[in-house]
Structure 1
Amino acid sequence: MSLKSFAAKLFAKQISKKNAVWITNPIQAQQNVFHFLIKNGRKTLFGQDHDFDCISSYEDFVAKVPIRDYEALKGYVEQIVNGKENVLWPGKPTYFAKTSGTTSGAKYIPITKESIKNQVEASRNAILNYIHETGNADFVDGKMIFLQGSPILKEKNGIKLGRLSGISAHYVPNYLQKNRLPSWETNCIEDWETKVNEIVRETEHENMTVIAGIPSWVQMYFEKLQEKNKKKVGELFEDFQLFIYGGVNYEPYRAKFENLIGRKVDSIELFPASEGFFAYQERQHEKGMLLLLDAGIFYEFIKADEFFDENPQRLTIKDVKVNVNYAMIISTNAGLWGYNLGDTVQFISLKPFKVIVSGRIKHFISAFGEHVIAKEVEEAMRLAIEATDAMVNEFTVAPQTNPDSGLPYHEWFIEFEREPDDEEKFITVLDQAMQDQNSYYYDLIVGSILQKLNVTKIVQNGFLEYMKSLGKLGGQNKIQRLCNDRKLADGLQKHKLNPKG
């Protein structure tokens, strides 16, 4: 055992003991965060506008602070962008994380010195938790790669501006700098395909032990490695032990990854966003991620099927139940107040509080009142893959409300790496899994309102080419899993597989 791995185990044990305090006292931990946020919020323009001086309880907060999305917060953010201080949080943010908004153009998410500290600690603690759980720390002696956006930051009125992953690149601890790949120069390459090719060149002869990134883009890296070296990734990197991912559900990619690697490796799921780092997987053989309750974020939850009601009930963690789909609302030490993150979660455990990400509150299919969510289509895909030995690169689902003939249906656009050994069985399992999970969908099928789902095959790299056409190749961009309209479906039409060649 090296000195570095020995030290990592000691540090992991120390952090585990520290975390145990809030894990065993979750309600108190959230109350502490709440009071800290309100105390600091009183010093801000937002706090003055919402009578924070009169807030002493959660009930007061609900009465004073409405739920809002970025559009509703934009007026405050623009004041910060223009140089004003003490708007959403005392002082000025250290960074703006720039993201692509679907309705508001570029979004500028504030990141303060307090919130970036929590982000960095959470990503570090995810790895330390893994070390403490498994006893495995050997990987700290090898090379590590984090596929991310460019770390080059611009500046706007004294506030640095960039992608979250690029901002995070500035916080790799010193003891990992020598282990970290790719080089700074390669990380700064903007064109994703050029960047991945250079990453392959820099890493193919190194002792890679940890690889991290959004699965769809790591897959592209793995494929290029295999294409160039004619070896499985696990053969090329014999000491590759740990895959760290976030942003999308790994299950639809798992079979493809294990094929590319040639063996199984441990993995850690993360739940980060520009708005905060919310959860990480704490057990290798258990589902779900530990919700971080002492990390500068106060959580509220609204039942997803009530979210668009005029006055939906807002819940704290003491009121939530397992297996209910909730929209997640956050108030943070970056100055986001009653902020609709857009993600939906389900609790799978309340001791400790563990969640899975079930989808996006605006990403669903309910063209016929079925309200299908991402978790359901991803689980159906997992079962269909298992039943037919298929391998899928990417997929998305959209309603077909006006077919040329017959009843309407859900159309699944799938790019197969390996087609199912029995295509009809694949479709049957897929559709049955949807009926089993979603009673509304079941009723529509049984009532002959919908016909069984249809599969449209997409050519190899079709999704990649589609993303490239949008200028969204690589980085934190990802395919929308389902849409309630045909916009994405229409964009994929020219990438359909022609069965007649």
Structure 2
Amino acid sequence: MGLKSTLSRPLAAFVARQYRQWQQDPIGTQQRLLQALLAQGQRTAFGRDHHFAGIRTAQDFAWQVPARDYEALSPYFNRVKAGEPDVLWPGKPLYLAKTSGTTSGAKYIPITKDSIPNHINGARDALLHYVHATGKSRFLDGKLIFLSGSPELETVAGIHTGRLSGIANHHVPAYLRRNQLPSYQTNIIEDWETKLDRIVDETLPQPMSLISGIPPWVQMYFDRIVARTGRPVGEVFPGFDLFVYGGVNFEPYRKKLFETIGRPVDSIELFPASEGFLAFQDEPGNPGMLLLLNAGIYFEFIPAERFFEKNPPRLTLAEVELDKNYALVLSSNAGLWGYSIGDTVRFTQKYPFRVVVTGRIKHFLSAFGEHVIGEEVEQTLREAMQQHPEVEVVEFTVAPRVSDDPAVPSRHEWLIEFAHPPHDAAAFAAALEAGLRRRNVYYDDLLRGNILAPLQLTPLPAGAFQRYMKSLGKLGGQNKVPRLSNDRGVAEGLLVG
């Protein structure tokens, strides 16, 4: 056992003890954090505009600071981006994390001196919890890779700006940097396919022990390894012990990915975002991720079914219930206040509070009033794949197909790129239909009333999703295809390709 793996064990035990301390009083931890954030923020422009000095309780805060998304808060973000100090948080941010996906184009999320430890320590502590829980630390002696965007940063009004993964790359601890791949020269390549080939070149001769990234892009990397060597990834990298992932639900990719590896490896799920590192899987085998309540982020929760009301309720941690979907609202030492992040979660456990990510509040399919959410289609697909074990899925999305002919009902269309298609496509489509009807009563009612016809299963040719993402300039990195759309935009883009 090497020096790093040996020293990691007492450090892991120390960090686990620190976490247990705040877990003993999670509600109080969040209450105290809110007060500390307000004290810091009251001298900012936002704090003065929203009368922070008079806020005493969580209820006061929810009253004074409405929940808003990036577009609604853009006047403040634009002032930060222009270089004005003391707008959302004292001083200027260290970085602006640039991310896409909003109706107004790119988002610029501030990362401050106070919030950067949340991003860096969250990933570190996830690995240390794994070491503490399993006793396995050998992976720290091998080579580690995170498939990410470019670490090159630009300067906007004197503030370093770039992708979150690129910013985080500049804060990799020195003791791990020698283990890290790919090289900086490879990591800054913008073209994903060129970059992927270079990553394969660099990693093939190395003793890879930890591989991390968003599952569909990791699968592309694995496919290149297999194509280059003719061997499964687990044989090419016999020391590969740990897969770390986040960003999308892993289940649709699990079967194909592990088949490509050729043997079981342990895995850890993370919940990172440009707005903060929110949770990680702290217990192997427990799908719930530990919500990080003492890392500079105050959490509120809006019941997902009431999110689009004019004044939806804002619940504190003390008020949440198990097995209900909530939209996340964050306030943090990055200068985010009542910020609606767009993700939805479901609590699987209290004390400690653990969540699973269930989708995006704006990614739903309700063209006919059914309001199908991401978790429902992902669970439905996983169940259908269990019933048809020959099936392996590369990627999928679901869209409405609205009929112009009154005599022909409209329907859902499932567009799926199969690695291995079903032996009986009609039976697989029927399994999808039955699973979604069982999970969504509104969809079932629409089928019963002949308002919708049975779903249409559309197999896509190999590489369809890659070609579509490339056409958008979003191939690789942290980019993701929406699971659900309320229009035909994604579907038509895939079908054209």
Counterpart check, 1:468 vs 2:480:
no
Paired amino acid for 2:408:
G
The residue number in structure 2 matching 1:141 is: 141
Partner Cα separation in structure 1 for residue 336 and residue 13 of structure 2: 33
The residue number in structure 2 matching 1:184 is: 184
Q: Under a length normalisation based on structure 1, what TM-score does the superposition of the two structures give?
A: 0.97
Partner Cα separation in structure 1 for residue 157 and residue 213 of structure 2: 31
Paired amino acid for 1:434:
L
Structure 1 residue 121, shift from structure 2 partner: 0.6
The answer as to whether partners of 2:65 and 2:338 remain within 8 angstroms in 1 is: yes
Partner Cα separation in structure 1 for residue 346 and residue 439 of structure 2: 14
Structure 1 residue 3, shift from structure 2 partner: 2.4
Structure 1 residue 2, shift from structure 2 partner: 2.4
Structure 1 residue 63, shift from structure 2 partner: 1.5
Counterpart check, 1:431 vs 2:433:
yes
Partner Cα separation in structure 2 for residue 357 and residue 271 of structure 1: 8
SS at match of 1:478: coil
The residue number in structure 1 matching 2:21 is: 21
Partner Cα separation in structure 2 for residue 239 and residue 259 of structure 1: 17
Matches within 5 A, 1:245-260: 245-260=245-260
Counterpart check, 1:374 vs 2:377:
no
Match of 1:421 among 407, 420, 423: 423
Paired amino acid for 2:393:
V
The residue number in structure 1 matching 2:108 is: 108
Partner Cα separation in structure 2 for residue 403 and residue 140 of structure 1: 59
Partner Cα separation in structure 2 for residue 425 and residue 82 of structure 1: 57
The residue number in structure 1 matching 2:211 is: 211
The residue number in structure 1 matching 2:445 is: 443
Partner Cα separation in structure 1 for residue 252 and residue 24 of structure 2: 34
Structure 1 residue 350, shift from structure 2 partner: 1.3
The residue number in structure 1 matching 2:398 is: 397
SS at match of 1:131: helix
Partner Cα separation in structure 2 for residue 58 and residue 32 of structure 1: 11
Matches within 5 A, 1:56-455: 56-389=56-389, 390-402=391-403, 406-455=408-457
The residue number in structure 1 matching 2:479 is: 477
Structure 1 residue 408, shift from structure 2 partner: 1.3
Partner Cα separation in structure 2 for residue 373 and residue 449 of structure 1: 19
Counterpart check, 1:493 vs 2:475:
no
Structure 1 residue 403, shift from structure 2 partner: 6.2
SS at match of 2:476: coil
The answer as to whether partners of 2:209 and 2:239 remain within 8 angstroms in 1 is: yes
Paired amino acid for 1:131:
V
Which stretches of structure 1, 4 residues or more, deviate above 3 A after TM superposition?
none
The answer as to whether partners of 2:288 and 2:356 remain within 8 angstroms in 1 is: yes
Partner Cα separation in structure 2 for residue 438 and residue 288 of structure 1: 23
Structure 1 residue 494, shift from structure 2 partner: 2.2
The answer as to whether partners of 2:26 and 2:351 remain within 8 angstroms in 1 is: no
Partner Cα separation in structure 2 for residue 122 and residue 368 of structure 1: 41
Partner Cα separation in structure 1 for residue 439 and residue 323 of structure 2: 12
Partner Cα separation in structure 2 for residue 491 and residue 80 of structure 1: 35
Partner Cα separation in structure 2 for residue 369 and residue 79 of structure 1: 39
Unaligned runs of 5+ in 2: none
Partner Cα separation in structure 2 for residue 432 and residue 348 of structure 1: 25
Question: For 1:19-56, what per-residue CA distance to the aligned partner results, in whole angstroms no more than 9, with x for missing partners?
Answer: 00111211011012101110001120100011111111
Paired amino acid for 2:401:
Q
Please identify, of 231-240 and 98-107, the stretch whose mean Cα deviation from structure 2 is larger: 98-107
> How many residues matched?
495
SS at match of 1:301: strand
Counterpart check, 1:55 vs 2:49:
no
Paired amino acid for 1:411:
E
Q: 1:173 to 1:410 in 2, by over 3 A?
A: same
Structure 1 residue 425, shift from structure 2 partner: 2.2
Question: For 1:188-222, what per-residue CA distance to the aligned partner results, in whole angstroms no more than 9, with x for missing partners?
Answer: 11111111000000001110000010111111111
Q: Under a length normalisation based on structure 2, what TM-score does the superposition of the two structures give?
A: 0.98
SS at match of 1:420: coil
CA RMSD of aligned residues (A): 1.0
Unaligned runs of 5+ in 1: 496-501
| Sequence identity percentage | 53
Partner Cα separation in structure 2 for residue 413 and residue 424 of structure 1: 14
The residue number in structure 2 matching 1:498 is: none
